């Protein structure tokens, strides 16, 4: 659609016309500013935990155990922070010498930062997920959303809406 619009503008005499072909989907997936009726809804990008443990493909399982602490997940990233895999810490092998790439789940499902909290919660409940990685459109890591924290945010938002509706 946008290339046709650009050519129409060209036919109307505009001489410096550009097409952002990746468009609104790409912009939102990068967590860049949007306006409009839906733009103010709470989204998961703001709630993603950026302190989620990460490791490189070649890191050893013995180190991951120590870095992961209480987290259920360690995300495997490259130098550009692109998510390559997910390690569920409950599945860490006994072999401390194993590398992250040998024990990770490659190509995990990830979600964009502009997904609404309500949509994400619905998906997590349907699929019985406790946490989910959030990545930008280029695959780089934003963080990990925790279902418990999204549910807490939902309760707070509902209480706030109800308070606004009350007439004292």
Partner 1 sequence: MPQARGWLTRLMPKIIDRRQVRALIARGAQLVEVLPAEDFAEEHLAGAINIPLKELDERSAARLDRARPVIVYCHDLQ
Binding site for partner 1 (CB under 8 A): 1-10, 12-28, 30, 32-39
**Residue closer to partner 1 (CB basis): 17 or 152:** 17
Residues in CB range of 132: below 8 A, 6 or more apart: 109, 110, 111, 120, 123, 124, 144, 145
State in angstroms the smallest separation of the CB of 45 from partner 1. Answer: 14
State in angstroms the smallest separation of the CB of 126 from partner 1. Answer: 24
State in angstroms the smallest separation of the CB of 116 from partner 1. Answer: 11
Task: Give the helix/strand (H/E) hosting 10.
Answer: helix 2-11
Joined tokens for residue 25? 């989907």
State in angstroms the smallest separation of the CB of 11 from partner 1. Answer: 9
**Residue closer to partner 1 (CB basis): 36 or 106:** 36
**Residue closer to partner 1 (CB basis): 5 or 152:** 5
**Residue closer to partner 1 (CB basis): 3 or 69:** 3
Taking the C-alpha atoms of residue 50 and residue 12, their distance in angstroms, rounded to an integer, is 48
Query: Which DSSP category does 114 fall into?
Result: T
State in angstroms the smallest separation of the CB of 15 from partner 1. Answer: 5
Number of CB atoms found within 10 A of residue 43's CB = 23
Q: Is 135 in contact with 110 (CB distance < 8 Å)?
A: yes
Nearest to 113 by CA among 133, 86, 87, 85: 133
**Residue closer to partner 1 (CB basis): 21 or 167:** 21
- The residue written with tokens 């097409």 in the block is 19
């Amino acid at each position: 659609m946008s290339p046709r619009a650009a050519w129409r503008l060209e036919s109307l005499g505009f001489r410096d016309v550009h097409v952002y072909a990746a468009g609104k989907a790409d912009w939102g997936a990068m967590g860049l500013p949007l306006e409009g009726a839906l733009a103010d809804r709470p989204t998961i990008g703001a709630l993603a935990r950026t302190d989620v443990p990460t490791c490189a493909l070649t890191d050893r399982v013995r180190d991951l155990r120590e870095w992961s602490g209480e987290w259920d997940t360690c995300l495997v990233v490259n130098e550009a922070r692109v998510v390559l895999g997910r390690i569920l810490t409950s599945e860490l092998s006994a072999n401390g010498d194993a590398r992250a790439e040998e024990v990770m789940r490659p190509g995990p499902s990830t979600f964009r930062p502009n997904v609404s909290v309500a949509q994400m919660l619905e998906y997590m409940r349907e699929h019985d997920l406790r946490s989910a990685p959030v990545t930008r459109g280029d695959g780089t890591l934003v963080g990990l959303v925790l279902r418990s924290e999204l549910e807490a945010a939902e309760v707070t938002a509902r209480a706030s809406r109800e308070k606004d509706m009350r007439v004292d």
